[in-house]
């Protein structure tokens, strides 16, 4: 990466010096002073100012003097006064202002687009629910280590929640008849209906999840 840096000047103000006599030709009322701001640039964009330079011009004899050299004694105070009161050139902070404007723009765009963000969230949760469908049945491993299994059936789906019911522990091979009966009759009142956040559903049914899709043996 290389950088192209340099310096530049901006004219801040030009003020007549009507009471001052020209140090060269002695003419009064023909002098003016122009104040310049000097700035550092990066890729030709001003970054920050680093001082001011004043230039006096006599309209009569065209003598031009800069404050970089010692000015005639009579010039010093009026020139210094004009230079001190010259306004700041905000354009000399162009790069900084561009960066700030960019940050503000990014924040504003972020505020203006909450809908697209929530759409993305919805799409993500739809992906993450592992395609849960109403009436889907799963087999639940017995976490106590005893033989047997419980059945689980999805009873209700909302945008964000999966509701399901579970049976008590079963030991016989799951057939269409036995599972239908178990789900109809064996629901223990305490576990009649449970719920789980839809976007967390895939943790239950995928990989080493506690619910496995039910395979019937006929
Ligand atoms: Zn002059």
Q: Which residues contact 114 (CB under 8 A, 6 or more apart)?
A: none
For residues 120 and 135, give the distance between their C-alpha atoms in angstroms, rounded to a whole number: 27
Q: Supply the pTM of this predicted model.
A: 0.49
What's the CA-to-centroid distance between 52 and ligand 1, angstroms?
23
| Residue 92 CA to ligand 1 centre (angstroms) | 32
Q: Do residues 176 and 160 touch, judged by C-beta distance below 8 A? A: no
Which pLDDT tens digit goes with each residue over 125-154? 445 566 788 888 888 776 666 778 888 888
Angle at 167 between CA 164 and CA 170, to 5 degrees: 145
State pLDDT tens for residues 30-77. Answer: 999 999 999 999 888 898 888 999 999 999 999 999 998 899 999 999
Map tokens 């006064």 to a residue.
81
Q: Indicate if the pLDDT at residue 103 is higher than 90.
A: yes
Q: How far apart are CA 182 and CA 107, in angstroms?
A: 56
Quote the CA–CA distance of 130 and 60 in Å, as a whole number: 89
Say if residues 169 and 191 touch (Cβ distance below 8 Å). no
For residues 91 and 96, give the distance between their C-alpha atoms in angstroms, rounded to a whole number: 10
CA of 21 to the centre of ligand 1 (A): 8
Strand partners, 33: 15, 56
Burial of 60 (0-12, 13-18, 19+ CB in 10 A): middle
Helix (H/G/I), strand (E/B), else coil: 64: strand
pLDDT confidence of residue 43: 87
Strands 31-42 and 45-58: antiparallel
Ligand 1 midpoint to CA 8 (Å) = 28
């Amino acid at each position: 990466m290389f950088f192209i840096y340099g310096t530049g000047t901006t004219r801040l103000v030009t003020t007549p010096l009507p009471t001052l006599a020209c140090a060269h030709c002695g003419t009064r009322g023909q002098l003016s002073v122009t104040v310049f701001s000097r700035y550092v640039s990066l890729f030709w964009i001003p970054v920050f100012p680093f001082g001011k330079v004043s230039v006096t011009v006599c309209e009569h004899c065209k003598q031009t003097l800069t404050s970089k050299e010692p000015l005639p004694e009579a010039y010093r105070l009026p020139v210094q006064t004009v230079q001190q009161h010259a306004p700041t050139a905000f354009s000399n902070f162009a790069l900084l202002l561009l960066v700030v404007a960019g940050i503000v723009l990014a924040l504003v765009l972020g505020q203006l687009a909450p809908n697209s963000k929530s759409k993305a969230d919805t799409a993500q949760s739809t992906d993450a629910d592992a395609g849960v469908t109403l009436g889907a049945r799963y087999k639940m491993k017995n976490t106590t280590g005893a033989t047997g299994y419980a059945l689980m059936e999805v009873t209700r789906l909302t945008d964000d929640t999966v509701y399901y019911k579970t049976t008590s522990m079963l030991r016989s091979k799951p057939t269409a008849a036995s599972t239908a009966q178990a789900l109809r009759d064996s629901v223990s009142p305490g576990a009649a209906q449970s719920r789980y956040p839809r976007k967390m559903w895939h943790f239950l049914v995928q990989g080493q999840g506690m619910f496995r899709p039910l395979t019937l043996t006929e």
